Amino acid sequence: MDYSETLRLPQTEFPMRGNLPEKEPEFVKLWEDKDLYNERIMQREKDGAPAFVLHDGPPYANGKIHIGHALNKTLKDIIVRYKYMAGFQVNYIPGWDTHGLPIEYAVLKESGEDRANLTPLELRRKCLAYAKKWIEIQKGDFIRMGVIGDYDHCYVTYDPHMEAREIEVFGEMANKGYIYKGKKAVYWCSHCETALAEAEIEYKDRKSPSIYVKFPALDVKGLGPDGVDNSKLFAVIWTTTPWTIPANMFIAVNPKFTYVWVHNLDADEYYLMNKELAPKALEECKVEHYEIVGREMLGAEWDLAAFKHPWDFYHRTVYVLEGNHVTLDAGTGCVHTAPGHGVEDFEVFKSYENAGKIHEELICPVDNKGVMTEEAGEFVQGKTIWEAEGPCISMIAKSGCLLGKKSIHHQYAHCWRCKNPVIYRATEQWFASINDFRDKALQAVDQTRFIPAWGHDRLYNMVRDRQDWCISRQRSWGVPIPAFYCDDCGKYIITPETIGKVKEIVEVEGTDAWWSRSTEELLPENFHCPYCDGQKFHKEKDIMDVWFDSGTTWNGVLKNPHEEWKKQQVTYPCDLYLEGSDQHRGWFQSSLLSSVAANGTAPYKAVLTHGFTMDGEGRKMSKSVGNVVAPQDIIDKYGADVMRLWISSVDYQGDVRLSEKIIRSMSDVYRKIRNTFRYLLGNLYDFDPKTDSVSYENMEELDRWALLRMEQVKRTVMKAYDEYEFHVMYHAVHNFCTVDLSSIYLDILKDRLYTEKGDSLLRRSAQTAMYEILTTLVRLVAPVICFTAEEVWQALPNKEERAWSVHMTHMPKENDQYLDKELDEKWKKRLAIRSVVTKALEEARRAKNIGHPLDAEVTVYADGESFALLQEMEKELADFCLVSQTHIVEGAENAKADAISAEDGTVKVSVAVCTLRKCERCWKRTADVGENATYENTCRRCAKVLEETNA
């Protein structure tokens, strides 16, 4: 007789291989056909559920998504899916950032057209088409990744509703006096010909000249060394931008630092330098023979002392100004100050000018294209700033003022789009005055929860220290700055009436109206200048910073949403902003500043940040290096769930690593979790939870232990989700599947499940536990491996009695009954004993003393409490240890010399070959094999089952 046909082996249509690249799109279609997103919204409306709102930071609509997008969107999706299952009314409205320089740049590069040959409206139409194309491509990728959202009503910054809401915020800030136009030194990209914000800057290594320049003394206020003529006195500055020397107007010193005269004995010259920096500076200038002369002086003593520019043909007096920005990091402590090309330089200049201490015209001899103007002098006029570096150094040397020169490599600011180095340049720009609401912004930071906690200090310090926000850009593709100029008095005009009129038009026509309509059409009827009563006007040409676009999306999506979004219980402030750690200086900050300025509050209650994705060796991913891992490639080869599982496994609060090897390893982990689900499903083919379940009190102790572990894992996972610690969830689930279930519980259960009578209490007890574990586990992992969880859910029995999708269900509720502390302690000790037995069996197999564990006979020698535990489970001990026969002996000291010992020596195990006959059905070796004449090659237990089932 073939006894294998009498075994109740697993049966399931759930495949071993996931074939995720082919299978996952089927579930995408299922969710779309069933309108999963909106059905969830309606269900929670019926439930009267509280809202949870995650406001999406908009990715830029330019190019394919990269692994950083995948990390960001998947983290958001895990939260959105979990919060829904935790009972919240959750909406997720995906957004896109669509304006600004990067798209203009890409459009012009792609078309090969010159911007000067296109009207603003022509360029804007091309940019709009480009943005729409990439939104659809990116949207498709996000949907394929399993990111659930309201894709029928996404928000895009070119939408008239969003543009009108942005103008509304601008108007509110202007009405409060926070918006002004002025001349300041700002980041300037000469290649793109526009101002840039701090968040649009990236730093790269650059080789630059490093020079020390002498400024001859004019009036040292009696602070020179005794008896030394002014002709021998110089202030020495250090710079890595020789092209700014033509713009030099002042020298800055720190009023609290100590300065000295250094006598260059070889040249018989005296240099004013900071006492601490002098030795290093002189070493770099190769001045070997020198001495400190005269007394030590505070920088404050040098206020408004006079030197002269190194180039006599400038006829320029260079005054000394006090500046607290002067540090001891490098240089000489005497800082070259060109207000036209430095933020701190400009601020010091303005503070003296406002105090009436100086009356100088600002010098900025560089045009929009980064070319030196006539003001710089004939020797560099017409050259780019980089071409001018050599001639400037030569002219300094020719004048006898070059003290030292070398080249250095350092981190230098570059444009985020064209990748060219940028400069500071003083230009007329529009600004938001941060000082006017800085304290409120800092209070808002204090009231916000940050994950991780260090995000608080980072954002707080950035807001505390930042300059006024330059919000204007010299481009066409964006939201116009809604300002007008009076042709009679020249003043700019922003009033509630003008803002209201522009907003009204934009709400209907979009911002193209700013270029398509006349100035008169954009102004209120019969409008007069509020300053001079004039009636002729022209409109501003600049557009708003894209960070103002994205930074005001809270108004269009949360505070004053579309009708479609109102249905979803959007809230302002929302619950969470989640982006990369670079957004402390970007979107987190621009959103905070605009929201506080307009409404006095942050737009978010919590801010969560993640790190960057590096390669397997911790290096930045780069096409040139060839270490880029694209999410599309992962999905096409392994499936989105494997990528999502990897994302859940990493501690995203720091930088994370990814490589083909890492994702391949994660595929193995996924396979183990999938096989756990498959095994659970396979053993429930004949189980109906309504009729076959066993009450907790009547379940086998092993099954109650499995439910105990499930409950512990459930609580760990739920807490991890609540605290956004998804790697904790991952490790808890992975360990539960591979250790608690596969290596212990399910391994022990196999004999019971396969050999016992189908409706026996032993088998039904196991199935009851397995069903509870399966229906719990599938919901716990659903936010992460969303496709596989759906596949498991569809394979569960009693389909008609459940929600049609796992993503329409609730997270499993806590069950205190399962948390049996006494059982927990007992089984920790039992499993510790089992681990010693397992180790002994491994040693015996390695020595080839036994083959299969069921060929073994095990003797366990134990002391005290361990012996008592073994006595309690003496009948089940063999099954527990997966062997045929066990014996227990009191006293570990009685063990054989070669016995395997526990670390504390209280348990020892010896293994021998079991010589009893083997049951051909269950493979156990027992003394009762052959008792039954009908089933002579089986054990008593198997023979009884066969008789009862008429096999």
Cα 774 from Cα 770, distance rounded (Å): 6
Main-chain dihedrals φ then ψ at residue 604, nearest 5 degrees:
-135, 155
- Summarised one tens digit per residue, pLDDT across range 867-899 is 999 999 999 999 999 999 999 999 989 988 888
Kindly state whether residues 201 and 317 are assigned to the same domain. yes
Kindly state whether residues 76 and 151 are assigned to the same domain. yes
Tokens at residue 918, please?
């083997």
Residue 826 has pLDDT above 90, yes or no: yes
Check: CB of residue 93 under 8 Å from CB of residue 155: yes
Residue 377 has pLDDT above 90, yes or no: no
C-alpha dist (Å) from residue 835 to 130, 860, 885: 63, 12, 17
Kindly state whether residues 745 and 779 are assigned to the same domain. yes
DSSP-derived secondary structure letter, 557:
I
Residue showing tokens 């919590």: 606
Q: Residue 194's pLDDT is what?
A: 82
Kindly state whether residues 120 and 243 are assigned to the same domain. no
Residue 951 has pLDDT above 80, yes or no: no
Check: CB of residue 360 under 8 Å from CB of residue 304: no
Residue 430 has pLDDT above 90, yes or no: yes
Residue spans of alpha helices (H) in 517-586: 519-522, 546-551, 553-554, 563-566
Planar angle of CA 921, 925, 929, nearest 5 degrees: 65
CATH of the domain at 869: 3.30.2320.20
408, 424, 440 - which closes a domain: 424
For 616-649, b/e burial (b = at least 16 CB within 10 A) is eeeeebeeeeebbbebeebbeebbbbbbbbbbbb
- Summarised one tens digit per residue, pLDDT across range 731-772 is 999 999 999 999 999 999 999 999 999 999 999 999 999 999
Q: DSSP labels for 465-506?
A: H---EE-EES-SSS-B---EEETTT--EE--HHHHHHHHHHH
Kindly state whether residues 364 and 223 are assigned to the same domain. yes
Check: CB of residue 494 under 8 Å from CB of residue 179: yes
- Taking each continuous run of H as one helix and of E as one strand, the counts in the chain are 31, 32
Q: Residue 426's pLDDT is what?
A: 84
- Summarised one tens digit per residue, pLDDT across range 571-599 is 999 999 999 999 998 999 999 999 999 99
Q: Residue 277's pLDDT is what?
A: 92
Kindly state whether residues 207 and 136 are assigned to the same domain. no
Three-state SS at 776:
helix
152-166, 197-211, 522-536: range with lowest mean pLDDT: 197-211
Residue 597 lies in a domain: yes
Q: Residue 94's pLDDT is what?
A: 97
Residue 434 has pLDDT above 80, yes or no: yes
Which residues, in sequence order, are CB contacts of 211 under 8 Å at separation 6+? Answer: 238, 239, 240, 242, 393, 396, 402, 404, 405
CATH of the domain at 86: 3.40.50.620
Q: Residue 273's pLDDT is what?
A: 93
Percent of the chain with pLDDT over 70: 100
- Summarised one tens digit per residue, pLDDT across range 171-206 is 999 999 999 998 888 888 888 888 887 777 888 888
Kindly state whether residues 371 and 260 are assigned to the same domain. yes
Residue 406 lies in a domain: yes
Closest CA to 479 of 459, 505, 497, 461: 505
Residue 19 has pLDDT above 90, yes or no: yes
Residue showing tokens 């009108």: 164
Q: How confident is residue 139, by pLDDT bands cut at 50, 70 and 90?
A: very high
Q: Residue 294's pLDDT is what?
A: 85
Query: For residue 759, what are the domain limits?
Result: 641-819
Which residues, in sequence order, are CB contacts of 377 under 8 Å at separation 6+? Answer: 246, 311, 313, 314
Q: How confident is residue 950, by pLDDT bands cut at 50, 70 and 90?
A: confident
Three-state SS at 382:
coil
Q: Residue 186's pLDDT is what?
A: 82
- Better pLDDT: 346 or 264: 264
Check: CB of residue 168 under 8 Å from CB of residue 108: no
Kindly state whether residues 244 and 327 are assigned to the same domain. yes
Residue 149 has pLDDT above 90, yes or no: yes
CATH of the domain at 537: 1.10.10
Q: Residue 272's pLDDT is what?
A: 94
Interval 278-285 mean pLDDT: 92
Residue 10 lies in a domain: no
**Domain count within the chain:** 5
Interval 455-471 mean pLDDT: 93
Closest CA to 614 of 631, 634, 629: 629
Closest CA to 165 of 556, 438, 627, 501: 556
Tokens at residue 828, please?
């920790």
Residue 286 lies in a domain: yes
Cα 434 from Cα 597, distance rounded (Å): 9
pTM for the structure as a whole: 0.87
Kindly state whether residues 531 and 562 are assigned to the same domain. no
Main-chain dihedrals φ then ψ at residue 411, nearest 5 degrees:
-75, 125
Kindly state whether residues 155 and 207 are assigned to the same domain. no
Residue 417 has pLDDT above 80, yes or no: no
Kindly state whether residues 410 and 514 are assigned to the same domain. no
Interval 209-232 mean pLDDT: 91
Cα 302 from Cα 350, distance rounded (Å): 19
Longest CA–CA separation in the chain, Å: 128
Residue 63 lies in a domain: yes
Percent of the chain with pLDDT over 90: 72
Q: Residue 727's pLDDT is what?
A: 97
Residue 207 has pLDDT above 90, yes or no: no
C-alpha dist (Å) from residue 914 to 768, 847, 855, 857: 33, 16, 6, 5
Peptide bond into 573 cis (omega under 30): yes
Q: How confident is residue 679, by pLDDT bands cut at 50, 70 and 90?
A: very high
Check: CB of residue 766 under 8 Å from CB of residue 752: yes
Residue 187 lies in a domain: no
Residue 399 lies in a domain: yes
Q: Residue 620's pLDDT is what?
A: 85
Q: How confident is residue 570, by pLDDT bands cut at 50, 70 and 90?
A: confident
Interval 293-313 mean pLDDT: 90
Whole-number average pLDDT of the chain: 92
Kindly state whether residues 157 and 71 are assigned to the same domain. yes
Q: Residue 868's pLDDT is what?
A: 92
Check: CB of residue 854 under 8 Å from CB of residue 885: no
74-88, 363-377, 586-600: range with lowest mean pLDDT: 363-377
Residue 420 lies in a domain: yes
Tokens at residue 489, please?
């008095």
Residue 55 has pLDDT above 90, yes or no: yes
Q: Residue 409's pLDDT is what?
A: 84
Check: CB of residue 251 under 8 Å from CB of residue 352: no
